[in-house]
Amino acid sequence: MERMKRVLLLLLAFTVLLMLPEASATKFTVGNNQFWNPNINYTEWAKGKHFYLGDWLYFVYDRNQASVLEVNKTDYETCNSDHPLTNWTRGAGRDVVPLNVTKTYYIISGRGFCFSGMKIAVHVEKLPPPPKAAPVKSAAPTLFSQDRILLMPVVFAIGAAWDAFIHFW
Ligand SMILES: *[C@@H]1O[C@H](CO)[C@@H](O)[C@H](O)[C@H]1NC(C)=O
Ligand SMILES: *[C@@H]1O[C@H](CO)[C@@H](O)[C@H](O)[C@H]1NC(C)=O
Ligand SMILES: *[C@@H]1O[C@H](CO)[C@@H](O)[C@H](O)[C@H]1NC(C)=O
Ligand SMILES: *[C@@H]1O[C@H](CO)[C@@H](O)[C@H](O)[C@H]1NC(C)=O
């Protein structure tokens, strides 16, 4: 009986591990290989992309020039950087913005670069419902919460796999 349980745990662990790629959050490099620079249409860049809760925006730029400021809609439209909601600038020219709220993020660069096109609006959606054919679902529904960073299941899976490995062999 105990052995059966461990085999089941082992199976569950591997299933979870196999499903991980699908479950991971997306880190979008803003502008792809053109990064965060003037004279790029970021509306075009964002077009057709889906941004989900738990995803990230990654800004790569010249730290001596640009910045990453979250502003409200009005300030986005007018390129006003006088009262940012959040200053995501950390100083290295490599900034990550976690998209952890379902809303539209308005992000601009300071120092006038917004007027050269360094502005982006990103609408963050809730995760779509998980695919129907998730084999583990009935066995462990709590493993598949809305979070796409499934840290607990991973820890659990690795622990269970190790445990099963030790005892089974
Ligand atoms: C950027 O692209 C959008 C969507 O195609 C377009 O509506 C907008 O006018 C463009 N902006 C600039 C500054 O060219
Ligand atoms: C954005 O902030 C400015 C300054 O605080 C304010 O005047 C404006 O009404 C705000 N716009 C929105 C859409 O909240
Ligand atoms: C944002 O933070 C950076 C780094 O701390 C700082 O240099 C910059 O002046 C800030 N910008 C605004 C508009 O607050
Ligand atoms: C979203 O992330 C920011 C930065 O890490 C944090 O300050 C904020 O509390 C988070 N909000 C939610 C709703 O988790």
Tell me the Cα Rg of the chain: 21
Lowest-confidence region among 118-127, 149-158, 160-169: 149-158
Classify 85 as helix, strand or coil: coil
Residues lining ligand 4, CB < 6 A? 98, 100-101
Residues 32-71 have pLDDT tens digits of 999 999 999 999 999 999 999 999 999 999 999 999 999 9
Ligand 1 center–CA 32 separation, angstroms: 17
Residue 148: pLDDT band by 50, 70, 90 thresholds? very low
Residue to probe by mutation, ligand 4, list 97, 100, 107, 126, most atoms within 8 Å of CB:
100
Q: Which residue has the tokens 């790029």?
A: 40
Sheet bearing 86-87, strands edge to edge = 51-52, 119-125, 104-108, 69-71, 86-87
pLDDT of residue 24: 75
pLDDT at 147: 45
Measured in degrees and rounded to the nearest 5, phi and psi for residue 144 equal -110, 70
CA distance 81 to 135: 49
**How many H-runs (helices) and E-runs (strands) does the chain carry?**
4, 8
**60-102 pLDDT, tens digit each:** 999 999 999 999 999 999 999 999 999 999 999 999 999 999 9
Q: What's the whole-model pTM score?
A: 0.72
Residue pair 30/44 in contact by the 8 Å Cβ criterion:
no
Say how many Å lie between the CA of residue 133 and the centre of ligand 3: 47
Q: How far apart are the first and last CA of the chain?
A: 16
Percentage of the chain lying above the pLDDT 70 cut? 63
Index of the ligand 4 atom closest to the CA of residue 101: 13
